[in-house]
Amino acid sequence: MIIEMPDTTTRDINKRLLKERDEGGAIALGRVLTLIISVGDRDPDEAIDAANDASREHPCRVIVIANDVQDRASNLDAQIRLGGDAGASEVLVLRPSGQLERHLDTLVIPLLLPDAPIVTWWPYEIPDNPSEHPLGRMAARRITDTTQCARPNAALRALAAAHADGDTDLAWTRATLWRGLIAATLDQPPYEPVQKAVVAGESTHPSVDLMAAWLAYALKCPVEIERIKDAPAITQVRLQRASGDIVLDRPDGKTAALRQPDQPEHRIALPIRQLRECLAEELRRLDADEVYGEVLQKGLARIDA
């Protein structure tokens, strides 16, 4: 069910939610968090679809802030999505204009779930400093996605300069399975130091840089990045050791081959992770991702140097 509320107020939105709850049941019970999504000028539907899917694991209230397409004085148009149009959540789409755009924190506060943690997600372009943004200051976790920025690697370096506990980026989440496979492989004999690591992948994909930064931080070895135009994200990680190279190769973006000295080749399903899967993973934790922070601030500096 989709309810349109043009030229409205947060008070009227809350009244309508209470009315729908009384008529249709306690739709807000069991919500574990409030997810604020700031989409800027972009169509919010893709982000809403991902949030709806993630809400089946993490029931939440979703508040979407989208720029008003009309140049008007202070005005608030809203849309409420419930039931089949909202997954296991309730979705409020807000389109503020004029002065309301300058006070987004004040705008959303009356709509927050009481005593529930807040997560803010920027699925497209990101603020210069997420933790100091009005929507970021109120959040326990701040999620960005540099893969969707116009200049992904520049955005990643800006995040490194402004990093605060509670920040994370979906480019880091997209490389989780790669990190797990590499860590599991290195946890087997022979326990030799890695002399050099090479990460190959799409030339502007920030997951490539974060993977290289993680290896540089964790292994304290030289790391080289091979940038390949139009490649499907990360395509290969190669670790050079005295006994021979460990190679994890995924040229097609679907299936990886793991090759190690004196062992048969292993084929592993390793598809490119989808947005909804990555978002659900990040909503599982509300504490600071300390490894991401160390990699972002120290690992990136090593590969940039």
pLDDT computed for residue 68 by the predictor:
78
- pLDDT tens-digit map of 135-179: 999 999 999 999 999 999 999 999 999 999 999 999 999 999 999
Which residues on adjacent β-strands are paired with residue 2? 81
On average, the pLDDT of the chain sits at: 93
Confidence of residue 9 (pLDDT cuts 50, 70, 90): very high
Range 266-285 burial, b when 16+ CB lie within 10 A, else e: eeeebeebebbbbbbbbbee
Q: Which amino acid is at 42?
A: R
Residue 209 contacts residue 303 (beta carbons within 8 Å):
yes
> Is the CATH number 3.30.360.10 carried by domain 170-305?
yes
Contacts of residue 34, Cβ cutoff 8 Å, sequence gap at least 6: 60, 61, 62, 63, 112, 113, 116, 117, 118, 119
pTM: 0.94
Q: In the numeric block, which tokens belong to residue 155?
A: 């955005």
Only one residue has tokens 């139009």, namely 230
CB contact at 8 A, 1 and 87: no
Nearest Cα neighbor of 226 from 202, 250, 257, 252 is: 202
With a cut of 60, say whether residue 194 has pLDDT above it: yes
Distance of CA 49 to the CA centre of its chain: 14
Q: How far is CA 300 from CA 16, 51, 146, 217, in A?
A: 48, 30, 15, 8
Residues of the chain above pLDDT 90, percent:
84
Dist CA 208 CA 202 (whole Å): 7
Q: Taking the CB of residue 189, how many other CB atoms lie within 10 A of it?
A: 6
In this model, does residue 119 exceed pLDDT 60?
A: yes
pLDDT band at 89 (very low <50, low <70, confident <90, very high): confident
Find the mean pLDDT for residues 235-242: 98
Quickly state the pLDDT bin for 73 (edges 50, 70, 90): confident
Whole-number Å distance between alpha carbons of 170 and 155: 13
Q: What is the pLDDT of residue 27?
A: 52
User: Minimal CA–CA distance to 59: which of 41, 81, 34?
Assistant: 34
Tell me the C-alpha distance between 236 and 191, whole Å: 21
Average pLDDT over residues 180-208: 96
- pLDDT digits 0-9 by tens, 242-272: 999 999 999 999 999 999 999 999 999 999 9
For residues 205 and 177, the answer to whether their CB atoms sit within 8 Å is: no
What are the domain boundaries of the chain? 2-169, 170-305
Residue 193 CB coordination number (10 Å): 10
In the predicted structure, residue 84 carries a pLDDT above the cut 80: no
